[in-house]
Amino acid sequence: MVQLLFFMAAIGAIGGALAVVLLRNPFFSVLALVVHLMALSVLFLLLHAEFLAAAQLIVYAGAVMVLYVFVVSYVGGADELLAEAGVARKLAPVFGVVLLFAFSLAIGGSALKALDTRGADLPAGFGSPAQIGELLLTRFLLPFEIASFLLTIAAVGAVLLARRRRGLEEVDDVSGDGGVV
């Protein structure tokens, strides 16, 4: 059962990721991304990371993807191709394949060793919301606070950039003396 679920989720994840890249219509790409993220959350479940699986579904497949769908429907333009295929663009797949090979080697090299084992020894309750919450309040208190500050400052940055939309206030004395106070 677990094996079956794993292979289904794995195929879903890889297939979804491929579809994101290969599909021409951005709307379908977004939908393929949803499939990919859902398959990933199943994989997380299989790894006993229940909280992560739920967060993945709610935050990514739920909230973030809705945002993507909005953006795609606003911006639209499914048939606009980006740019002429230059040399760099033609070389890109070559580099991609080489990198894929290297990483498969790297990950496979480590992962294959673990095939016959039972996996890492996890303490009871590993990955449960309670334990994650505890970690966020103890060992990872600082990262947690930094993340909140990061969000605040990102909002400040967004406000700064959004000024352009709202219209800038008149800069009256640009050519003047530089506004000596």
Residues lying near other proteins in the complex (CB under 8 A): 102-103, 105-107, 109-110, 120, 130, 134, 137-143, 146-147, 149-150, 152-154, 156-161, 163-164, 168, 171, 174, 177-181
Q: Which is nearer to other proteins, 27 or 144 (CB)?
A: 144
* 11 versus 141: smaller Cβ distance to other proteins: 141
In which element (H, E) is residue 19 found? helix 2-22
CA distances from 159 to 24, 63, 119, 163 (A): 33, 21, 47, 6
| Complex with other proteins: residue 18 or 147, whichever CB lies closer | 147
- Min dist CB 23 to other proteins, Å, is 21
Helix (H/G/I), strand (E/B), else coil: 26: helix
We find the least distance from the C-beta atom of residue 4 to other proteins, in angstroms, to be 25
Residue closer to other proteins by CB (options 123, 178) is 178
**Shortest reach from residue 107's CB to other proteins, in Å:** 6
User: Nearest 10 degrees: CA dihedral of 145, 148, 153, 154?
Assistant: 140
CB distance 26 to 81 below 8 Å? no
Nearer to other proteins, 1 or 21 (CB): 21
Distance CA 140, CA 147 (A): 11
Residue with tokens 């393929």: 32
User: How far is the C-alpha of 27 from the C-alpha of 47, rounded, in Å?
Assistant: 31
Q: Shortest distance, CB of residue 153 to other proteins, whole angstroms? A: 5
Burial label, 153 (beta-carbon count in 10 A; 0-12, 13-18, 19+):
exposed
Smallest separation, CB 60 to other proteins (Å)? 15
